[in-house]
A and B are shown apart, each in its own frame.
Chain A
């Protein structure tokens, strides 16, 4: 007789040796995996690939319960996501600590993004607790979650449905050893930052995403308008994907789009200058090139900057929506007028030649 548990627990993971939903089978405990705190060369290579967006969804850990060191029934339990960067940050931070690690199935997504989507959520936490038979593995009823998992978790609901009390640890796994001394986090441990290192580490994946359209655009421009136009395209994209994350707090204004427009303009000016001072070709053609650079480049950089809101740690949906309504029309008008100008002048030049 198979009885499905109240949680609707489906237990499809291979890691669970026996289907936990068969409540009759009480004496058989699901498999507990083993984890260590050491980060191997292979782990580091995996992190590198994740940072470059290679096989984006493939950086996963098998969900389930892990034994770190030699935990007993009084050892703490930490929850994490089944994304290698999340899991590895946790296990390496807990060097020398005996603990259980409960890895939720977040489909290979980090804790914070998964919490935002609800996959690092109350339902999945309760399901994992039941499927791994955690209540019989440990004697206490406390589970320590990363603070950034909170947007997906309702502690009263978890308590009601699983009997486990949720304790929110610090934002960064690195602070866990310090946190565990008192089980209280300092205000610094509770605050998310967006330091230059945090921002630089995001650049590769931004570059990878923008690479194909940027190279295509640059090639097309190279053949119809020359090398300076191709350089302009590359510069606008590099400004939006590399310079913008680095310079984010130093650019004036608060909105990402206006910061992007300013940065794009700074990059466009030398290109426009190069067009104007170009000795070859008719003067009107070079002036047109300069105008196009000033119209199109800031629009491209600003659009990439606006899209960086999703990577940042502080933009609200209300604010981003305002930015979209306020600036996307401006970017569209700038880019479109630049393109129209280019096409018109191209036609004029063609007619004159004819």
Chain B
């Protein structure tokens, strides 16, 4: 109850992992951490589905339906009669956008 963030679309197959360490390097929430033989899926509930790990895994051991967790984008897409998942986070579209001027720190 009151926690919509327990489940997500992140899937990891350690059998394919070659332990290159890239997933733990790109994840900003320590979902993956380095392990002795394979990467360890340490905190799946912290995943925000940004898709960095899957896109940078050289052996496709990780899959995730990546997207931006932005209610504004999804609601506006739904209101315009479009698929919610097509809702582009309109940071950069028209004014009145979702992401504010967020994350300047990301160099």
Where the two chains meet, the residues of A that have a C-beta atom closer than 8 Å to any C-beta of B are 47, 50-51, 53, 56-57, 78, 80, 83, 85-86, 89-90, 93, 107-117, 119, 146-156, 168-169, 171-174, 176, 185, 187, 190-192, 198, 201-202, 205-206, 209, 253-256, 258, 306-307, 309-324, 326, 328
Instruction: Tell me the complex Cα distance, A323–B2, Å.
Output: 9
- By a beta-carbon cutoff of 8 Å, the part of chain B in contact with chain A is 2-5, 7-9, 22, 24-30, 46-52, 55-56, 58, 65-75, 78, 84-85, 88-89, 91-92, 95-107
Q: Which of A57, A187, A320, A328 contacts B92 (CB 8 A)?
A: A57
- Beyond A310-B70, A320-B4, whether A86 also contacts B106 by CB under 8 A is yes
B95 touches A53 (CB 8 A): yes
User: A110 CA to B26 CA in the complex, in Å?
Assistant: 17
Interface of B is mostly: loop
Q: How far is the CB of A54 from chain B (nearest CB, A)?
A: 10
Find chain A residues with CB under 8 A from B97 CB: 56, 209
Whether A320 contacts B56 by the Cβ 8 Å rule is no
In the docked arrangement, what's the CA distance between A102 and B87, Å?
Answer: 30
B28, A147: Cβ atoms closer than 8 Å: yes
Contacts of A153 in B (CB 8 A): 55-56
Chain B's closest residue to A146 (CB) is: B107
- Whole-angstrom distance from the CB of A198 to the nearest CB of chain B? 8
Q: Are B73 and A310 in contact (CB under 8 A)?
A: yes
Nearest 4 CB-CB pairings of A with B: A310-B70, A310-B98, A173-B107, A85-B104
Q: Are A318 and B98 in contact (CB under 8 A)?
A: no
Nearest chain-B residue to A209 (Cβ)? B96
CB–CB B91/A113 < 8 A? yes
| Nearest CB in chain A to that of B25: its residue | A168
Whether the Cβ atoms of A321 and B106 lie closer than 8 Å is no
The answer on a CB contact under 8 Å between B66 and A148 is: no
How distant is the Cα of A223 from the Cα of B29 in the complex, in angstroms? Answer: 49
> Which residues in A have their C-beta under 8 angstroms from that of B70?
309-310, 315, 320
Q: Nearest A residue to B22 by beta-carbon distance?
A: A155
CB pair A90 B30 closer than 8 Å: no
B68→A116 contact, CB < 8 A: yes
CB distance from B77 to the nearest CB of A (A): 11
CA distance A319 to B91 in the complex (A): 20
Q: A113: nearest residue on chain B (CB-CB)?
A: B91
* Given A258-B2, A311-B100, A314-B48, A109 and B92 contact (CB-CB distance below 8 Å): yes
- Closest residue of B by beta carbon distance from A184: B25
The verdict on A323 contacting B104 (CB below 8 Å), with A192-B29, A313-B28 known, is no
Extra 9 A-B pairs, beta carbons < 8 Å, given A313-B28, A317-B49: A112-B103, A112-B106, A113-B89, A147-B26, A156-B56, A254-B2, A254-B3, A255-B2, A319-B5
User: Contact check: which of A148, A209, A320 meets B71 at CB < 8 Å?
Assistant: A320
A253 to B4: give the CA distance in the assembly, Å: 10
Residues of chain B lying within 8 A (CB to CB) of residue A147: 25-26, 28, 106
Contact A190 B27 (CB under 8 A): yes
Contact B46–A319 (Cβ < 8 Å): no
